[in-house]
Amino acid sequence: MTTTSTPADAFGMRGKVAIVTGGGAAGDGIGNGRAACILLARAGAKVLVVDRDVPLAQRTVDMIVAEGGTAQAMSVDVTDEVPCRQMVERAVGLWGRLDYLDNNVGIGSRGSVVDEPLDTWREVMKVNVDSMFLACKAAIPAMIATAGGGAIVNISSISTLRPRGLTTYSVSKGAVIALTKAMAVDHGKDGIRVNCVAPGPVYTPMVIRNGMSDAARAQRRRASVLGVEGSGWDIGNAVRFLLSDMARYVTGQTLVVDGGATLVGPSRESEEH
């Protein structure tokens, strides 16, 4: 695991409570959600690790506990309103409050509106947008009631900033940005900040689960103007910052974490390599 030189108390998270959806990952892999769980726990937060596949969530919990942190696992279908309410009730029941929500759940798709089956369109919207709507719908009243406010981070994608053949996915992640801004306006008066992270081509278990060649991995690395490969830790660090007191004056924003990939056109790869 990575280490951090930032003192844990600097984040203002000690004794606070977070829910992270999509907090599992295959094996010991570090996905965006698992990285966020571990980093939040390192900063002193108690973490409810949510994943539809509870053994994956439990592995994240085991990693946190091994470092001396506090976490519990829970299997939740976040596309359903009742389980989302139960998720929030579990966090509050365990630790008496809710301060943070990190919405990580998402699936992908490829193709244009002509190619995409309607059923796939609806499923992607359900998983990528409905899940965040429902999780926030359940979490916000609990944040207000138990903590007097809180912070939310929703995970979008650079695919909505630079669409390239992933139309349904790009649209769903664009909706996440719009939802983030709307909730920031609606709930600023309640002491709740809402921000968004748009990851670039980071190397995570979800990305490679269907296999990835060394050449494809190298091409993704070169998409960064820094020439380095991003990882789940990069996204997790961005999430922790936006949830923390360090970002107390930041709301309604989208933080792009892509090594500069969106600064250059897709043709750069063929022109320079």
pLDDT 10s digit of each residue in the chain, 273 long? 544 457 778 899 999 999 999 999 988 899 999 999 999 999 999 999 999 999 999 999 999 999 999 999 999 999 999 999 999 999 999 999 999 999 999 998 999 999 999 999 999 999 999 999 999 999 999 999 999 999 999 999 999 998 888 999 999 999 999 999 999 999 999 999 999 999 998 887 666 566 666 776 677 777 788 988 889 999 999 999 999 999 999 999 999 999 999 998 654 343 332
> 166 Cβ partners below 8 Å, 6+ apart?
108, 109, 110, 111, 159
* CA pair distance 91, 106, nearest whole angstrom: 22
pLDDT of residue 152: 99
The structural domains of the chain, with segments of one domain joined by +, span 9-272
pLDDT of residue 88: 98
* Cβ count within 10 A of residue 133: 19
Active-site residue list: 169
> 175 Cβ partners below 8 Å, 6+ apart?
125, 128, 129
State which CATH number among 3.40.50.720, 3.40.50.12660, 3.40.50.1000, 3.40.50.1970 fits the domain covering 9-272.
Answer: 3.40.50.720
pLDDT of residue 212: 63
> 165 Cβ partners below 8 Å, 6+ apart?
110, 111, 112
Residue where the block lists tokens 């190397």: 203
CA distances from 59 to 29, 70, 255 (A): 10, 13, 28
Q: pTM for the full model? A: 0.91
